Amino acid sequence: MPDEETQEIQDKGMVTAFANGIASVEIVRGGGCNSCSLHGICFSKNTPAVFQIPTQIPLVVGDEVELNVSAEGRVLASLLVFGLPVLFLMLGFLLANQFLAELPSIILAFLAMGLSFFIIRCFDKKWNQRFQIEIVRKL
């Protein structure tokens, strides 16, 4: 049996559409999402997370599936979502503070953090298919 630290975390999803070997899968929030204080960040409250996943498994709308998301994808997503805004905030302040007073530096730091959210959105649109998500099996 594989070591627990190297084992991939499994998620569940619901098939919302299936055509030509591509399944649209809506991620089902796990129990950990409800207890996490940041659950609104990962998934927008009113918008479900839906992924287009190629598969050879015959599926129909309404099937519940088990998903495998690569550990690398989880780490990269976490770094982008949580690390990049903090980095931009700090760098924005440090750079602005070299030339401006403290209050304008703080304002520019928050503007830089806002820029990081735009960059994250661009990464999300361009690289979302690079995260390795696969359907393991139908439940």
pLDDT tens-digit map of 87-122: 999 999 999 999 999 999 999 999 999 999 888 888
What residue numbers bound the domain in which 32 lies?
Answer: 10-138
Q: Is residue 3 part of a domain?
A: no
* 113: in domain: yes
Q: How many domains does the chain have?
A: 1
What is the reported pLDDT for 29?
64
Say if 20 falls within a structural domain.
yes
Q: Is residue 118 part of a domain?
A: yes
The least confident of 12-16, 42-46, 60-64, 71-75 is 42-46
Report how far apart, in Å, the C-alpha atoms of 108 and of each of 8, 24, 81, 94, 117 are. 40, 40, 20, 10, 14
Q: How is 87-131 classified by DSSP, letter by letter?
A: HHHHHHHHHHHTTS-HHHHHHHHHHHHHHHHHHHHHHHHHHGGGS
